Amino acid sequence: MKNIAVFASGSGTNFQAILDSIESGHLKANVTLLVCDRPKAAVIERAERNNIPTFVFYPKEFPSKTAFESLIIEELKQAEAELVVLAGYMRLIGETLLSEYEEKIINIHPSLLPAFPGKDAIGQALEAAVNETGVTVHYVDRGMDTGPIIEQVSIGVNIDDTKADLEQRIHKVEHELYPKVIQDLLHSELMNNK
């Protein structure tokens, strides 16, 4: 069974979807660590309810990104994490973490990248009045949502969609897609040879 670490900053719905998928037997993995950069985030309670170790830090208490990422690497090694899964982690990954876990960090983003990178992708899509958006799972690189795409699913945008409507449909797709991609990656030859 492979070990994964999940990074999240908010309520943790994708984190929960991963746990549910493990519970149902669809995802054969162990979540051995939650990393969170917001000490009051709801995702921490989800981890505690499921007896998952957490590393919670407050970035402003560190002199640099390198300083807190070095500490995160120690935690990841202790947790024997083989894959780092970003699930609503609202912080760019720095050079320290990227070089240590090259091609072992993935992210899920609520748009069809390269369209609408960065914050509020759903709002960006509605503002642009596109008739299609979606969900992308990609490897993390040095840019913002610019890493190689692993899988995408498109979602139609209805003319009368509110942000909440579209968000709900996107989350539904994310919660099915992310555990599936994680399972595929963890059990692929590519991952086993790295």
Catalytic center residues: 109
Write out the H or E segment, with its range, that includes residue 23. Answer: helix 13-24
> Under DSSP, is residue 45 helix (H, G, I), strand (E, B) or coil?
helix
Q: What CA–CA distances, in Å, run from 119 to 89, 116, 124, 145?
A: 11, 8, 9, 10
Q: How far apart are the first and last CA of the chain?
A: 16
Please spell the DSSP secondary structure of 119-188, one letter per residue: S-HHHHHHHTT-SEEEEEEEE--SSSS-SPEEEEEEEE--TT--HHHHHHHHHHHHHHHHHHHHHHHHTS
Phi and psi, residue 133, nearest 5°: -140, -155
Quote the CA–CA distance of 148 and 163 in Å, as a whole number. 27
